[in-house]
Structure 1
Amino acid sequence: MAKKPSNAGSGATSRRLTKAVIDKLRIARKRNRGAHGGNVRKPPPPGTYDRRIFIDPKKFPQTAAHIRRAQQKGHPRILTKDSGNKRTVKQRRRDATRPLNEQPRNTWDRDEYPFASTKEGGPGSSVQYVWWKDNQGAGNEIRKQWAGLPQGGRVWVDTYRRPGDPP
């Protein structure tokens, strides 16, 4: 009669397999985190962007919090301006906000990150309801800060105060 291996029936093999799968997932997540920013507090290397866009969390707390969460989940911190074709921007916004296709109440807007006016925007964007004044105020601030930036210009979207920021 053949002897059973010592780990037969104990679940040791499946535990080892599960650990191997978990390790692979952990490595993949680390790789993705590095590609998309990882530590969103740390500035990206110089030369990887043309301009910094600062969303002040004191003025626009809900929008800044949404951007931080989206970046921490792996959405890019550096975006490429692509707002020339209004039809394309409108389609990206429609695709991004499709998961929340019911119209919000008068006091709420759907905020998407990455922005619809960037190449990275569109399907797969992070979408969240935020107070309309917060969302529209942040949108105006973004438009002011990237005025004059050519199409294809790269911007670093930042929500953390840095030395030299206005009070």
Structure 2
Amino acid sequence: MLDLDPGLGTSDTRTGQVVTVEFPVERYPKTAAHIQKAIAKGESAVCTIDRGGAEENRDDSLRGIPTKKGFDRDEWPMAMCEEGGTGADIQYVVPADNRGAGSWVGNALEEYPDGTRVEFVFQ
């Protein structure tokens, strides 16, 4: 088992265990609400990191979803997740919340290799 930073669970990707990451709801409330709603509607709660597939997943998930002035198109599962892509849940979110959350996620997961399974928890 690996010891992780405060706020993170533990995982050894060789065993298939899931890394738990506490999402900062107070800092990114709109993105957190979207993720929680998407999971409640049946989207995967687990993200298997697949950075190499992110561009294709993003193209697939956002295809046919028009841009909207003043908003980003937030997707769950995220494009960097193996579970992302076609059929992802899309919601319009204010850019500061969405981009801040994206940056936070990128930093929180940067040390984990592709194939790591991650579940965000909300408190």
Q: Contact conserved, 1:114 with 1:120, CA < 8 A, in 2? A: yes
Cα offsets for 1:13-40 (capped at 9, x unmatched): xxxxxxxxxxxxxxxxxxxxxxxxxxxx
Secondary structure in 2 matching 1:111: strand
Structure 1 residues 86-101: aligned runs within 5 Å: 88-100=53-65
When you count strand as a share of all residues, which structure comes out higher? 2
> Equivalent pairs: percent with the same residue?
33
Answering whether residue 20 of structure 2 is matched by residue 57 of structure 1, we say: no
Which residue number corresponds to residue 67 of structure 2? 103
The 2-side partners of 1:48 and 1:77 are apart by: 15
Distance apart, 1:67 and its partner CA: 0.3
- Length, aligned pairs only: 109
Which residue number corresponds to residue 41 of structure 1? none
Distance apart, 1:144 and its partner CA: 1.1
Question: Which one of the candidate residues 106, 111, 121 is aligned to 1:143?
Answer: 106
The 1-side partners of 2:34 and 2:43 are apart by: 11
Secondary structure in 1 matching 2:68: coil
The 1-side partners of 2:21 and 2:50 are apart by: 15
Which residue number corresponds to residue 75 of structure 1? 43
| Consecutive unaligned residues in structure 1, runs of 5 or more | 1-46, 162-167
Q: Which has the higher contact order (CA 8 A, sep 6+)?
A: 2
Secondary structure in 1 matching 2:118: strand
| Consecutive unaligned residues in structure 2, runs of 5 or more | 1-14
TM-score (norm 2): 0.81
When you count helix as a share of all residues, which structure comes out higher? 1
Question: Which one of the candidate residues 66, 71, 81 is aligned to 1:118?
Answer: 81
Distance apart, 1:103 and its partner CA: 2.3
Q: Contact conserved, 1:63 with 1:138, CA < 8 A, in 2? A: yes
Which residue number corresponds to residue 129 of structure 1? 92
Select the structure of larger CA radius of gyration: 1
TM-score (norm 1): 0.61
Distance apart, 1:55 and its partner CA: 2.1
Q: Give the alignment's Cα RMSD to 1 decimal.
A: 1.5
Q: Contact conserved, 1:52 with 1:155, CA < 8 A, in 2? A: yes
Distance apart, 1:133 and its partner CA: 0.4
**141 and 71 in structure 1: CA distance in 2 versus 1, 3 angstrom threshold:** same
The 2-side partners of 1:99 and 1:126 are apart by: 13
